[in-house]
Structure 1
Amino acid sequence: MIAKKNDEKIIIEIKTFAGRSFIKELQHALGQYEVYFDLLELTGLDYELYMAISELVYKDFFLQKGTQMIVQRHKIKLLVVNIEREEIVKWL
């Protein structure tokens, strides 16, 4: 999804993490995020890349120390979304 945040152009990769293994889902999501990041850099497009996740997934998995370290190491920008209210609750 392509959107705007103020004057900033952003691309949002939406991830559900609905599989049985969070680690496998994270591996897949991280790989996709890095490929999209590289493609944006190679094409010179002026967009910021974000990964959107639900508030529940954020609380259950992304607050864990190991996941936080991975997010920081790979400089993943996150959008945390409340699915029921259909609103962004955190820009990280």
Structure 2
Amino acid sequence: MLARDIYHNNVKNALIKDKWKITHDLLTLKFGKKDLYIDLGASQLLAAEKAESKIAVEIKSFTGRSDVDDLEKALGQYILYQDILTELEPERVLYLAIANSIFEDLFEEPIGKLLLKNHRLKLITFEPKQEVIKQWITPN
């Protein structure tokens, strides 16, 4: 059994509150002989467009020895998952979900601002205790 991130249920509940339907509580990507697992898959009906928006969410708690080390690992995983999703499910948008406190500690510093400026990733920030989404950060 795969270990879930400590915030797995918090993010899942926050997405549900934000009107997302959880379609995968571990989204399996089969690529060659390898299986990879993204924490959540979700969809939402866009009423105005009568289309469905699909996302994949990788959740990171940043509880390792350093925030920068955790960030390096999260970025590598994000890039790998993004490239595989582009091949297998190009309609699904990948997000990295992090607690709002981590966003403030890392992404309001020069290193995080650089990643956002260079459009390296899409983020969801959330409040774990309230189980609510704070921000959807999508580079243009």
Q: Is the TM-score greater than 0.5?
A: yes
Distance in 1 of aligned mates of 2:80 and 2:101: 26
5+ residue gaps, structure 2, are: 1-39, 47-51
Query: TM-score if structure 1 supplies the norm length?
Result: 0.90
Residue 49 of structure 2 is aligned to residue 10 of structure 1 = no
Give 3-state SS (helix, strand or coil) of 1:17's partner: coil
Query: Matches of residues 53-64 of structure 1 in structure 2 within 5 Å?
Result: 53-64=98-109
> What is the aligned residue count?
92
Q: CA deviation at 1:42?
A: 1.8
Structure with bigger gyration radius: 2
Q: Report the alpha carbon displacement of residue 74 of structure 1 after superposing the two structures with TM.
A: 4.7
The amino acid of 1:82's aligned partner reads: E
Q: What is the DSSP-based 3-state SS (H/G/I as helix, E as strand, rest coil) of the residue aligned with 1:45?
A: coil
- Which structure's residues are more often strand, by fraction? 2
Question: Aligned equivalents of 1:24 and 1:38: distance in 2?
Answer: 22
Give the gaps of 5 or more residues in structure 1: none
Give 1:73 shift: 2.3
Root mean square deviation of aligned Cα: 1.4
TM-score, normalised relative to structure 2: 0.61
Identity %: 34
